[in-house]
Structures are given as C-alpha cells and as structure tokens.
Amino acid sequence: MMVIILRNDIIEILNNRKGEFISGEELSYLLKVSRTAIWKHINILRKEGYEIESVHKKGYRIVENYNSLLPGELIGRLQTQTIGRNIIYFESIDSTNDYCKQKGNDLSHGTVVISEEQLLGRGRLGRAWASPKGEGIWMSIFLKPHIPPLEGTKLTQIAAAAVCSTIRNVVGIDTLIKWPNDIVFNGKKLCGILTEMSAELNEIHYLIVGVGINVNTLYFSEEISDVATSIAVEIGKTVDRKTLVTNILKVFEELYEDFIIKGSIKKTIAICKEFSAILNKKVNIIRGNSIKEGLVIDITEEGNLLMLMENGEKEVIQSGEVSVRGLNGYV
Ligand code: BT5
C-alpha cells in the first residue's frame, strides 16, 4: 500500500509542475526516500502507462496524457471519502464486473475497477456491451452495503441519478434517465448500468455497480448504431473522461451515503423523476414473453414504476424493459 501511495505522490508532484523538470534529488527530499527508490518507482509508473521523460542533470518531467484514466491522474482530482479511494486500473480486461466477482470479498468497500477497454463487456441478461479502447468509461464500483438484498436495485437508481446529473452539469446536455438502467440523449443510449450482487436471503455479501458510458466514441457497429450514441457525437468534440469519472463518483458517494447512513433515497428519486424519459408517458413493459401497456404515473420511493394499466388498475413494476409507445428508435 505504501509504495502505491508513494507512486501517487510522485505523479501528483510531477502533475502539479507540468512542463517543468524536477530533479531526482528534489523528489527524494520531498518524499523522504532515496533517489534510487524514486528511479525505481518512475520505471514502474512508466510500465503502468505514464509517459515520463528523464534528462540527465535535469530530472523528470511528465508528458500530459489527456486520454488516460490512470489512478494517479484520478486520485488527485477525487473529492470523495471512500468511493474510488482505491482504484484498480487495466489497459484491457474481459469485464470490470467479472473482475470484481472473481475477487469478491478480497476487494475493499468503495474500490473502483476501471479499464480502458473490455473484451467481454456485459449488459443485462447476458447481452454484450461494446467497450472500445480509450473511448468510454467502463468501470465497476464495489460496495458492501448493510441493506436487505431486495434494496439492491436502488443502487442502480443512485448510479443513474449520479451519471445523469453529472453529464448535465459537466457537459451541459439534457440527458434523461430511461428507467431502470439507461441514460439517454436524443432518443439514443449514452450509458448503461449493470448492478449485480452476491447475497444470502437476508444479507448482501457484496454488490457491484457496473457503469458504461460512451464518451468519445465516434463510430458504432451496425448492430447498435441505431440505438447508441456518445457525448462526443452529440456535442461535436471530445470530452475529458477524468473530469466525468471523478465528478460521477463524488455525486454517487453523496447519494449513496444519504441512502446508507440517513436511510433516505429521496434525493435520488427526485433526480430520477426530474430527468425521467418515461414519466407521464405511455409505455410498453416487456418481461420475457409478456408485454404490458400503461401510463407511467410515478417513480416510487422504492425506485419502482407506478403504472396505470389499460384496464384502469394501478400496478407497481419492479423490473423489465421499457419502451415508449408511438416513438421509433430506442426510447
Ligand atoms: C446495460 O445492459 O445497459 C448495462 C451495461 C453495463 C456496462 C458496464 S461497463 C462496466 C461494467 N462491466 C461490464 O461488463 N458491464 C458493466 P442492457 O440494458 O441489457 O443493454 C444492453 C444492450 O445495449 C445491448 O443488447 C445493445 O443493444 C446495447 N449496447 C451494447 N453496447 C452498447 C454501447 N456501448 N452503447 C449503447 N448501447 C449499447
């Protein structure tokens, strides 16, 4: 752990004085370790993907890598207490959710696993999630909440509220939440959330909130080009993923703590309602082979849909696929 902190400190110092060479001697003085140790850790940082120049008699200088989500780049910007304080980073992995499942209770609460690409990114019900290299945010938040397993689905609403409000604030586009797990814009999907857990009847061992956001993708495969979009496609320029990740984690932590510590999910539900893509709309609810039609009249305090069905009865819907009637495209 100490060596990771040391490497984060090296990156923070180099980042704070970008463009400037900092001698091994100064780094060793500031961090109270030998110059050999500094040199050793600089080499490890390079292997992790940082571009650090070294020039004889001048020292070390970091080369700006705008496009990286390396932990050292994120930690300094993070304003959270627990969420993302431990970041596990991959250039490539099958799926960040699967990694969390494999590690299970070896991971600590609040750990964020992030990868530049996923080779087997997953959606719900075994569907595939396209996760091209360096183009999006593919991450999992690992949590150990002391809540009944039935409450686990609320974490999807917390994540949706955090992602939607952050994109609105940081990028300035009017994204909407398509209950239960999508963030959409202009009728296309920008983000999907996959919450999974390991639990017994009355106890959650751990819970994984997987978040996939199309940030700088410009081209989608034929299978999904009708339903998918990215922030860059919508605003016509690329966006810094670090700012998005750190802000999302901050809002996520606030809403999560409201829920866990104060037992309140009101703020989350208020955001989910304010930015809902389906509230007051007639929708089809698809579950397996059954299709039901009705009007969405509320999102309940439990994060479920309250529907007025065609037969005049009210019904609470806890899960399913939703599509808005009369609209083509994804929403
Ligand atoms: C989801 O499933 O939307 C959940 C996606 C969760 C992805 C994250 S990334 C980090 C973590 N690790 C993982 O392995 N997964 C999580 P669902 O509602 O079932 O939607 C899946 C459907 O979305 C697919 O069948 C496609 O039609 C479409 N799709 C696939 N890739 C997409 C993309 N990149 N952007 C938009 N739509 C996509």
Q: Is the CB of 276 under 6 A from ligand 1?
A: no
Asked whether 285 and 294 are in contact (CB, 8 A), the reply is: yes
Say if residue 57 is in the same domain as residue 92.
Answer: no
Q: Is the CB of 199 under 6 A from ligand 1?
A: no
Say if residue 29 is in the same domain as residue 81.
Answer: no
Say if residue 169 is in the same domain as residue 289.
Answer: no
Identify the residue whose C-alpha is closest to ligand 1 atom 34.
130
CA angle 191, 196, 202 (to 5 degrees): 140
Say if residue 27 is in the same domain as residue 83.
Answer: no
Calpha distance 237→263 (Å, rounded): 40
How many CB atoms lie under 10 A from the CB of residue 249?
A: 28
Residue from 229, 193, 201, 178 nearest 97 by CA = 193
Comparing 250 with 320, which gets the higher pLDDT?
250
Q: Quick one: pLDDT at residue 15?
A: 83
Calpha distance 100→111 (Å, rounded): 9
Mutational pocket test of ligand 1: of 129, 131, 226, the residue with most ligand atoms within 8 Å of the beta carbon? 129
Q: Which domain holds residue 38?
A: 2-63
Asked whether 119 and 92 are in contact (CB, 8 A), the reply is: yes
Element (H or E) spanning 71, and its range?
helix 71-75
For residue 25, give both structure tokens.
Answer: 């001697």
How many domains are there within the chain? 3
Q: Quick one: pLDDT at residue 1?
A: 47
Domain contains 331 = no
The radius of gyration of the chain's CA atoms, rounded to the nearest angstrom, is 22
Identify the residue whose C-alpha is closest to ligand 1 atom 20.
123
- Please measure the distance between the N-terminal and C-terminal CA atoms of the chain and give it in whole angstroms: 45
**pTM for this model (two decimals):** 0.88
Under the banding of pLDDT at 50, 70 and 90, the label for residue 289 is confident
Say if residue 218 is in the same domain as residue 245.
Answer: yes
Element (H or E) spanning 250, and its range?
helix 241-260
The binding site for biotin comprises 95-97, 118, 122-124, 189
pLDDT digits (tens, 9 = 90+) for 116-174: 999 999 999 899 999 999 999 999 999 999 999 999 999 999 999 999 999 999 999 99
Say if residue 82 is in the same domain as residue 59.
Answer: no
Cα dihedral value 13, 45, 136, 88, nearest 10: -100
Atom of ligand 1 nearest to the CA of 230: 35
Residue from 109, 253, 239 nearest 170 by CA = 239
Q: Would you say how long the chain is, in residues? A: 331
Residue from 171, 84, 68 nearest 117 by CA = 68
Asked whether 271 and 303 are in contact (CB, 8 A), the reply is: no
Asked whether 259 and 158 are in contact (CB, 8 A), the reply is: yes
pLDDT digits (tens, 9 = 90+) for 29-76: 999 999 999 999 999 988 877 889 999 999 999 886 656 898 888 988
